[in-house]
Amino acid sequence: MQKIEKILISNRGEIASRIIKTCKRLQIKTVAIYSEADSNYSFVKEAEEAISLIGSESKETYLNIEKIISIARQTKCDAIHPGYGFLSENSNFAEEVEKAGLIFIGPHHSAIFAMGDKVESRKKMKSINVPVVPGFDGIVSSDTQLLEEAKKIGFPVMIKASAGGGGRGMRKVFSEKEFFTDLESARREAKNFFSNDSVFIEKYIVNPRHIEVQIFGDTKGNVIHLYDRDCSIQRRNQKVVEEAPAPNISDKTRNEIYNTAISAGKCINYTNAGTVEFVMDENENFYFLEMNTRLQVEHPVTEMITGLDLVELQIRISEGFSIYEILPDGKVPEIRGSAIELRICAEEGLIDSKPSSGNIRYLNFSENEGARFDSGVITGNNVSIYYDSMIAKLISYSESRNTTIERAMTNLKALIILGLPTNHLLLDKILSHSEFREGKVNTGFLEKYIHPSNTKNDILFYLSICAVIHSIKIHDLMGRAFSEIHFEPKILDKCYVSDSFEIKNTLKIKHENIVYSIYKENDIFYITHDNEKYHYVLPKISLLNENNILLENGEKIYFCKYGLNIYLQNNCIKETFQILTESNSSKSKNSGNIQSSMPGKIISIHVKKGDTVNEGDPLISIESMKMENIIRAEINAKVEDIFFSVNNQINTEETLMILKNI
């Protein structure tokens, strides 16, 4: 056995902070590495040492094997913890760590290799009679051959990266017409994320459940399970909500899945934390999907229902302990309730969402009973375009699933993030839906049940709130005008009521490219837009502090004014407004302009100047937050001009090309 005294964490954000927390409790020193984009993140300050990596892009920072191992040696670390994502399932990285005389806190590189290639893992599972999804995993001679194999399997099919995981490099293909475009896109994303563009094809099982089993193995040959998780609520193959244990599964099927997962671990002499993932149809037939040879994003729900610290188990197994020496009383704890994890992401839109970036102007979470908030960001941090859009995880727990759902909804409303859009409203809709509450979930849940909602009826209310906020002067707060205050809130002794607010001149506010004119007279807000006139009377309000308005019914509205922008959050509804001046008034836009809805990098241009395109044809592929997004033509048109090239960085609302109607 080797006692680990110091660990380098080759990861960032939330998971880096999570590992540091356990290491502090175990009195193990930590070294953080960070990119230039992450220099102000909290994990950098939480570690005993922090070493800067030159650059911001993943390939030159968190994917740079040579640089990471060199820093581990320089700082005299005993071990490296890879977290999840990045190099966590890279067998070459694990092997290089082992060759350097360091402990890789995870499975042996041979196990990562065996399960890291999805084609080989399918073959391995077949050899021990584990059911796998029908598909083609043979030698590929050409893309045309892949298409022929897809036809044999029958559409719809799933193109999957052989070296993939976490939903990257995956594309659902419903017809032959889409095949080559989606194949090219899947290969490109796989190459970017895993440095390997090989793919295979599986039959796409429509709307299955996604069930996974947490396993742990040790160097003594023991493999145990720590129950199951349901990760069926997904969008574009990315998990959104996870819970443990999975609802509505018979005990017989549950035990069969556990035994199958343990068999999968034992057949490759698995050590450390791993997750065996399955898809399950409506008749509880289950098929091996993949094995993730690392700690999962959703590991907190397992921790909540078992009382175990999975990072501690990882470290102790890496030191050489038997799993039974680590477990309380030498056995797996019984399930002690229900837990739900919500992935909090920076994104715009509800179902057809896009990753977003920007500065977190204000973040606050009021802890409630049964709540856990795992975050790697603080107020003032910037969510960049270089990494994925998840910024935190909100975990709720109780002894019953119904109570856990209620707590999750309460906790979600108590999480305030202002300055950039997040998926609050989507998560709230999921938790409140009757099908979710009854545990009737599958991977098609969002498409079937969650639809965009019209909040326009509330816009008059929010516009009036903005007008009030813009007019506030907080005389007792250091004598500064409210518009200059951008720091953490401080509870005031005195409340300010709406009667003292007065808007003397007409105010123009822009919301979603619509300009509203507002003026107030006799406590009534008059709002005009496109020759229509509305009036709105606000309920009596109080200003609790510089980020919090209290309505007379006890409801709170959180806000942050930064420059000319006002960010509001009312429960799970978030809105952004802009105070207009002469210098920032919007100009009219050409309806034929193709604009980027997100910042990112152009990775492919599918057309050239002079081409004729039809509705639905791909125009440009943009990489943002490590995901590829394809902009498609919305009309039949001719390409008049293209303003950017492949590898150019672009900003939100940048005009990329001009189309002319035909």
In whole angstroms, give the CA distance from residue 465 to residue 447: 34
In whole angstroms, give the CA distance from residue 29 to residue 49: 8
CATH architecture of the domain with range 134-203:
2-Layer Sandwich (3.30)
What are the residue boundaries of the structural domains of the chain, listed by start?
A: 6-105, 134-203, 209-449, 456-584, 593-661
Q: What is the mean pLDDT of residues 139-146?
A: 86
CA distances from 57 to 38, 316, 329, 653 (A): 11, 33, 46, 22
Which H or E run includes 464? helix 459-471
pLDDT at 496: 30
pLDDT in tens, 407-429: 999 999 999 999 999 999 999 99
> pLDDT class for 475, splitting at 50, 70, 90?
very low
pLDDT at 211 over 60: yes
Neighbours of 24 (CB within 10 A): 14
pLDDT at 421: 93
pLDDT at 62: 97
Structure-model confidence comparison of residues 338 and 475, the more confident one: 338
pLDDT at 366 over 60: yes
C-alpha closest to that of 272 among 334, 330, 322: 322
Sheet arrangement for strand 524-529 = 496-497, 541-545, 548-551, 556-562, 565-570, 573-579, 507-511, 514-521, 524-529, 532-536
Q: How many residues does the chain have?
A: 662
Residues labelled catalytic: 294
Q: What is the mean pLDDT of residues 171-184?
A: 93
Sheet arrangement for strand 637-642 = 593-595, 655-661, 637-642, 612-613
- The number of angstroms, rounded, from the C-alpha of 335 to the middle of its chain's C-alpha atoms is 27
pLDDT at 649 over 90: no
pLDDT at 489: 30
Q: Are 453 and 425 in contact (CB under 8 A)?
A: yes
- Looking at domain 209-449, its CATH superfamily turns out to be ATP-grasp fold, B domain (3.30.470.20)
Domain 593-661 has CATH 2.170.120.30: no
Q: What is the mean pLDDT of residues 370-389?
A: 91
User: Most confidently modeled of 228-232, 519-523, 648-652?
Assistant: 228-232
Q: For 304, which DSSP code?
A: H
In whole angstroms, give the CA distance from residue 243 to residue 139: 37
pLDDT at 556 over 60: yes
pLDDT at 310: 98
Structure-model confidence comparison of residues 650 and 259, the more confident one: 259
pLDDT at 42 over 60: yes
What are phi and psi for residue 276, nearest 5 degrees?
-100, 120
CATH architecture of the domain with range 6-105:
3-Layer(aba) Sandwich (3.40)
pLDDT at 641: 87
pLDDT at 529 over 90: no
What are phi and psi for residue 406, nearest 5 degrees?
-60, -40
pTM of the model: 0.82
Q: Are 79 and 29 in contact (CB under 8 A)?
A: no
Q: What is the mean pLDDT of residues 200-218?
A: 93
pLDDT at 591 over 60: no
pLDDT at 352 over 70: yes
pLDDT at 457: 56
pLDDT at 504: 59
pLDDT in tens, 606-641: 999 999 999 889 999 998 877 788 899 988 999 998
- Same CATH topology for 134-203 and 593-661: the answer is no
C-alpha closest to that of 340 among 371, 366, 295, 310: 371
